[in-house]
Structure 1
């Protein structure tokens, strides 16, 4: 990692409907990095769009570009940041906004960029530009399945906060733009500078073990009353055994039919969903109570601490003890 004082041009792509935090979060991190490195970072952040007209974000806030895409034609780019944009439709669910013109521009800019990154569903733009083929990538959990179905050449992992694959980085949910930007600073200037920036932002330099996008299975939208009723039943009886046979009997269907429904509706088996739900409930107890691990394991249906620990390692790549140490928010 080099700390030489040189210009690092960072380009944030603007387009209609772009997520506001995706655009403003990274520049804040890089601005602090300049200050915390006494200017050694050399970061220069510009917002680029098709024209110099104001761009209306998804939040309704209008942003003025610093430069047009054509205005960057002769410049070497250090880091290209592609934000996301989504719309929510009652029938279609969450849809990504991927303007073919923006995709073409991103593809052109990437050819002379040292490092290409996406935030949230910006990964769909990178995918459409062919920049994620043969790579592992992440995106917002709500569109991960959509990304995987549309681009089978990409190994989509909906779990991590961000993923680095060579010179291509992809970030998860909207607020993950800060985690991703801190990781970029650490890669450029070292952990010490990134840690100072994180302290200024009052956030962790690294969430433990590449922390998961929490609540993924619990937030997914169900399209049938039957599966929604089953999900509520699971949460009401989280401390019970909750076998596939138990759930099938509750729903008055066969075991195989239950498994097919979970896979088609939620993209996972009943066992996977139940374990994720147990981890979610345990996570809340670790954050807000002083209950022992034994007590939490019992209340959340894990039975033993060993089972609780294994589930946390599997789902969150951390331990319950480490999670509590990092995310304890109150007394109870």
Structure 2
């Protein structure tokens, strides 16, 4: 029997959230499918216009009855929703196996009273506002997605793919979710505990040459990655490279490489059951003690604490 997915839309929703539907669509192509039926829902039915001006045809929501109800988000924290939408969401959440929000859709879950006592995430830019509005929730702003008591929430933008893949994994297993990700040409879903932030984005290099050096470093973390090696990757002299790197990123090359290594190591710890010494070796630290000191500088906690938190979340 197919599981029904209802995606709740409203005027001004973010069109990228529709990518979540594609995850279920591709899952239907896997052996044994189709597994899902998908319905776009809205208060009045008919075309609903996204924030990009693209209309999507919807059905009017009526009696609850979907296996999973999902709420789209907007570019900004959602304003107060209509009473009818909130009433439907409350009823649908009780009748559904799972309720999920994408991005700032978490604000609508909050309006419906679904966040009280629950862990939740949203787009990093709206996380503190979400906590302010719903103080009885526990907002974790640096998470890709969270599940708590069958209420799921995700970060913004493309995190809806990670959320939908996690739902597929829960239903059909890790191999099917991995096959869906491969079909969609995306990395197999990021773990829920993985950071919303990317070290490469945080460094914000302004020139192609420094970007090339950072990309080279990220792909070769197990190598020593001396300044000379990075300068060669950027096709600059050591002196030119060191000066340009600090001007563009505000960091020394050594500090930036450490940031990349810490990010890679944390992802390994949170996304699997790797031993700490293996993580240290694969991320280029070699020495677990060196990695421990880098973690404390970056996060204020050692790798073992990250590992314990990941296990508890799992």
Bucket of the pairwise TM-score, normalised by the shorter protein: 0.5 to 0.7
* Residue of structure 2 aligned with 1:170, choices 153, 157, 166: 153
- Please say if residues 37 and 193 of structure 1, whose CA atoms lie closer than 8 Å, have aligned partners that are also in contact: no
User: Aligned equivalents of 1:68 and 1:8: distance in 2?
Assistant: 19
**Structure 2: which 5+ residue stretches go unaligned?**
207-212, 228-250, 271-278, 285-314
Q: For residue 52 of structure 1, report the CA deviation from its aligned partner.
A: 2.2
> With structure 2 as the length reference, what TM-score do the two structures score?
0.68
Q: What is residue 90 of structure 2 aligned with on the other side? A: 107
Q: For residue 294 of structure 1, report the CA deviation from its aligned partner.
A: 5.8
* Superposition RMSD in Å: 3.6
- Please say if residues 162 and 171 of structure 1, whose CA atoms lie closer than 8 Å, have aligned partners that are also in contact: yes
Residue 106 of structure 2 aligns to a residue whose secondary structure is: helix
Q: For residue 295 of structure 1, report the CA deviation from its aligned partner.
A: 3.8
* Residue of structure 2 aligned with 1:86, choices 75, 91, 103: 75
Alpha-carbon distance change, 209 to 109 in structure 1, aligned in 2, over 3 angstroms: closer
**1:193 matches 2:185:** no
Alpha-carbon distance change, 209 to 148 in structure 1, aligned in 2, over 3 angstroms: closer
**1:20 matches 2:15:** yes
Q: For residue 210 of structure 1, report the CA deviation from its aligned partner.
A: 3.6
Correspondences of 1:124-273 after superposition (within 5 Å): 124-207=107-190, 210-215=193-198
Q: For residue 111 of structure 1, report the CA deviation from its aligned partner.
A: 1.7
Alpha-carbon distance change, 209 to 135 in structure 1, aligned in 2, over 3 angstroms: closer
**Structure 1: which 5+ residue stretches go unaligned?**
1-5, 88-94, 220-230, 237-281, 325-332
Q: For residue 56 of structure 1, report the CA deviation from its aligned partner.
A: 0.8
User: Aligned equivalents of 2:60 and 2:54: distance in 1?
Assistant: 19
Q: For residue 40 of structure 1, report the CA deviation from its aligned partner.
A: 5.2
Alpha-carbon distance change, 114 to 141 in structure 1, aligned in 2, over 3 angstroms: same
Residue 104 of structure 1 aligns to a residue whose secondary structure is: helix
Q: For residue 316 of structure 1, report the CA deviation from its aligned partner.
A: 8.7
Q: Deviations over 1:8-47 (max 9, x none)?
A: 111000101001111x212211111111133252x10000
User: Aligned equivalents of 1:96 and 1:128: distance in 2?
Assistant: 10
Q: What is residue 92 of structure 1 aligned with on the other side? A: none
Q: What is residue 304 of structure 2 aligned with on the other side? A: none
User: Aligned equivalents of 1:143 and 1:185: distance in 2?
Assistant: 27
Residue 109 of structure 1 aligns to a residue whose secondary structure is: helix
Q: For residue 312 of structure 1, report the CA deviation from its aligned partner.
A: 5.9
Q: For residue 64 of structure 1, report the CA deviation from its aligned partner.
A: 1.0
- Please say if residues 65 and 96 of structure 2, whose CA atoms lie closer than 8 Å, have aligned partners that are also in contact: yes
- Please say if residues 285 and 291 of structure 1, whose CA atoms lie closer than 8 Å, have aligned partners that are also in contact: no
Q: For residue 214 of structure 1, report the CA deviation from its aligned partner.
A: 1.2
**1:299 matches 2:253:** yes
Q: What is residue 48 of structure 2 aligned with on the other side? A: 55
